[in-house]
Structures are given as C-alpha cells and as structure tokens.
Amino acid sequence: MQSKSSSFTTVCLLSIFILFGGMSFAQQYNPIPVAVPSLQIAPDARGGGMGDIGVASMPDLYSQYWNAAKYPFVTSNGGFSISYTPWLSKLVSDIDLVYVSGFWKFGNENLNALSASLRYFSLGNVDIFDQNTDYMMAVSPHEFAFDVAYSRKLSETFSGAVTLRYIRADYSTGSDEITPGNAFSADVSGYNESYLNLGRSEALLGLGFNISNIGTKISYDGGNTSMFLPTNLRMGASLGLPVDDKNTFSFSFDVNKLLVPTPQLPVEGETEEERAKRIKKYSDISPIGGIFSSFGDAPGGFKEEMQEVTWSLGVEYFYNNRFSLRTGYYHENEYKGNRRYIAFGAGFKMSAFQIDAAYLVSMAQSNPLDQTLRLSLGFDIDGIRQLLR
C-alpha cells in the first residue's frame, strides 16, 4: 500500500518526531523520543504568546493544560474556551490541533473546581493505494486526549489538583501491522498565590508545579513494542506588578524536564546482538522506573542532564484588565531538539468573552509553528449570565 501524497511511514515518523524540528545530527545529538508528542504542544494562545508559559502565570480559563490547581483562584465561577493551532502550515494545510477546555467552581466559598479538556491533533487525510496503485481508502491519522481534573483550595494561598486522562493515537491503515494505541495517565499539580509589598506597590507572586502524564506506556503494534508517554515536570514562578490602577506588568518563568529515560547512545564497534540488548533494556524500563531513572541516566552525565532542561521567559502587559500584549522566549538545547523561538501575543477581554492570538518566530533552523498565527476564544459564564439578564 502507498499513499497519494506521501507514504504512511512518513506520516507516522512525522507524528513521533514532529516536535524535533531543526535536527542537527551531530554525534552528541540525543533527543528523548516519546509517544503522542502532541501532548507537549501548548494549546492556547495566551501561554503560546509568552513562549509556552503557564504553570504559575495569573490564573485564567486556559489553566487546564498548564496547571489545573489554578482554577480555584480564578475570579469567575466558570468558563470554557476553544483554541486552534495550525501545524506545518508552510507545507500542508490539513495538520492542526483543536483544544476545548472548561471549568466550574462549586462548594462553600467556591473552594472546589471541576475542569475538563478535549484535545484532537489531526495529521490530515492520507489516501491509501494497493500495490497496483488502485485506490483503496482514505485514512485520517490522529491523536486524541480527554481529561478531567478536580482542584481545591487547601489554604488561603495554596491549592492542589489531580487530573485523570485518557489518550488514544490512531495511525492505522486497515492492516494488522499498525493498530490504535490507548493509554491512561494522571497529573499532579499545585499553585500558590500570595502578595508582596514592593515599594509602594502590592505585587502578586505565583508559584506552581505540574507533573503531567504519569501513566502507562502506549503501543502502536498490538503490544509487541511500546513507547513512553511524555511525562513531564514543569515548575515556574510569576510576578504581577501594578504600575497604577489601569496598567499592570507580569513576568513569568517556566522550566521543564521530561521524566522519561534517556536513550543510551551506540558504542563504537557495537555488534547487532549488543545493539538489540541495549534497545530491549531501554524498552523494558517501566514508566515509574523511568521517572526516577530520568534524573541520572544521561550518557553524558550531569552536563547532558542539564541539557534536557528547557526554559522559557515571558512578559505580559495588561491595560485596564481589558487589553494585553505579550512576548516570550523558549529555549531548548541544540542536542535535545533545538527548539528556540520568540513568541508574540495579544488579547482582548470583555465581561462575557475574550480572544487571544499568538505568533511565533523561530530562532533555530526550523519549527513547525514558525510564522504561524494561533487563536483562542474564551467565554465567561458569569459574564454571559449578566448579558442574558
């Protein structure tokens, strides 16, 4: 079987390595491969406009992906949003990410919140032909995830959250070689919000963490082989500084570390048998064992472990809590994926809805989102009720 525009193998490889744009196959190049890579894509335009930041930024209705523990601190009682992200838009027009999320606060003093999100990453339509180049069918490879979170304010300044997620990746072509993969995972997150007196201003300090996608492995071949989910540790801080009653600046910083084992590089003169043993040893690592080993298994030692840490820095400006401008920078080591880019964003907020946009400019060789506009549209339940009244 073969496809009309590209082989299905190419599509699958694109799915697996699509986040590693700008590869430089140097001897030390050793990125960490993960399954369902779309789980690593920042879905909303607000976080994307600050260089993929959000674990400790000011709470909003987009918090489900970044840190569900922020929802009890959102001033509204509920809201929902939809975000759209085109992917590889310079090359194709039918690869994109659609993300829908929402939350609802309940209980005494609204200390509790339930939230959920649905993520659908489409790899476009692929026509399948038989060996005689006769058309057989069209397939739509995709990655899908649905999650539900419960968060609660545990004190005046701190809240925690637990998220449960179902994941499905379907690259099947109608044959038995490639089958849909299913997995389950969980997130554990926390957020602390307090005020600091800086000169004559009262600044808002946010601290947050999120350990995401702690779960099973996933298989695309009926269980013969399996891959790790992108289990990730994200930590960050933000500082909101009011200039006056209408103008506010917010500075945010996030760091990430994949909690996935680092592949061991081949040794010069390695035999096929030794290579097979090395690969099997890696694939036999359990997901939980991989989390603990990920802090000290890099072949290059501590230096390479530090190369696996990505970081991003963002700035956001608010005017009258209605209009906002954003910018940020994301940095990944050249030997671990080489994603480096500057992001720009803007937002406009009314009582019932808000719209946000983000634009990315790559600083490395290439990036699937380079010069791509991302959009998010959010709705505030309290604001909608007021309009209806």
Q: How far apart are CA 269 and CA 251, in angstroms?
A: 50
Q: What is the DSSP letter of 337?
A: T
Query: Does 268 or 11 have the greater pLDDT score?
Result: 268
| 302-341 confidence digits (pLDDT tens) | 999 999 999 999 999 999 989 999 999 999 998 888 899 9
Q: What is the DSSP string of 199-238?
A: TTEEEEEEEEEEEEEEE--B-SSTTSS-B----EEEEEEE
**Looking at residue 2, what is its pLDDT?**
43
Q: Are 57 and 250 in contact (CB under 8 A)?
A: yes
Residue 179: strand, helix, or coil = coil
265: which residues sit within 8 A by CB, 6+ positions away? 30, 299
Query: Does 175 or 191 have the greater pLDDT score?
Result: 191
Query: Does 52 or 265 have the greater pLDDT score?
Result: 52
Q: How far apart are CA 53 and CA 46, in angstroms?
A: 8
Closest CA to 293 of 257, 321, 249: 257
Residue 248 has a CB neighbour count (10 Å cut-off) of 21
| 245-256 confidence digits (pLDDT tens) | 899 999 999 999
Average model confidence (pLDDT) across the chain: 87
| 107-139 confidence digits (pLDDT tens) | 888 899 999 999 999 988 777 776 767 677 777
Of 80-89, 90-99, 298-307, minimum mean pLDDT range: 90-99
Which domain does 219 fall in, by range? Answer: 2-388
Q: Is the pLDDT of residue 189 over 80?
A: yes
109: alpha, beta or left, given left = phi > 0 and alpha = psi -120 to 50? Answer: left
Of 50-54, 176-180, 223-227, minimum mean pLDDT range: 176-180
Closest CA to 73 of 204, 175, 249: 204
**Looking at residue 113, what is its pLDDT?**
97
50: which residues sit within 8 A by CB, 6+ positions away? 57, 252, 312, 314, 315, 316, 326, 327, 328, 343, 345
Mean predicted confidence (pLDDT) in 171-175: 73
Q: Is the pLDDT of residue 292 over 80?
A: yes
**Looking at residue 3, what is its pLDDT?**
42
**AA letter at 67:** N
Q: Are 291 and 300 in contact (CB under 8 A)?
A: no
At 221, the pLDDT band (50, 70, 90 cuts) reads confident
Closest CA to 122 of 87, 83, 81: 87
**Number of domains the chain contains:** 1
Q: Is the pLDDT of residue 344 over 60?
A: yes
**Looking at residue 266, what is its pLDDT?**
80
**Looking at residue 176, what is its pLDDT?**
66
**Looking at residue 7, what is its pLDDT?**
40
At 225, the pLDDT band (50, 70, 90 cuts) reads confident
**Block residue for tokens 């000011």:** 58
Closest CA to 359 of 114, 21, 26, 89: 89
Q: Are 20 and 365 in contact (CB under 8 A)?
A: no
Burial group, residue 104, by CB count within 10 angstroms (0-12, 13-18, 19+): middle
**Looking at residue 238, what is its pLDDT?**
97
| 230-240 confidence digits (pLDDT tens) | 999 999 999 99
At 15, the pLDDT band (50, 70, 90 cuts) reads very low
Mean predicted confidence (pLDDT) in 139-147: 91
Q: Which tokens belong to 226? A: 């399996």
Q: Which tokens belong to 296? A: 């000290």
Q: Is the pLDDT of residue 6 over 80?
A: no
**Looking at residue 175, what is its pLDDT?**
67
Q: How far apart are CA 328 and CA 317, in angstroms?
A: 12
CATH number of the domain to which 7 belongs: 2.40.160.40
Q: Are 31 and 337 in contact (CB under 8 A)?
A: yes
Of 3-7, 40-44, 198-202, minimum mean pLDDT range: 3-7
**Looking at residue 212, what is its pLDDT?**
97
Q: How far apart are CA 251 and CA 329, in angstroms?
A: 12
Q: How far apart are CA 232 and CA 229, in angstroms?
A: 9
**Looking at residue 153, what is its pLDDT?**
96
**AA letter at 334:** E
Q: What percentage of the chain reaches a pLDDT higher than 70?
A: 90
Q: Are 172 and 184 in contact (CB under 8 A)?
A: no
Query: Does 65 or 274 have the greater pLDDT score?
Result: 65
**Block residue for tokens 């089958």:** 179
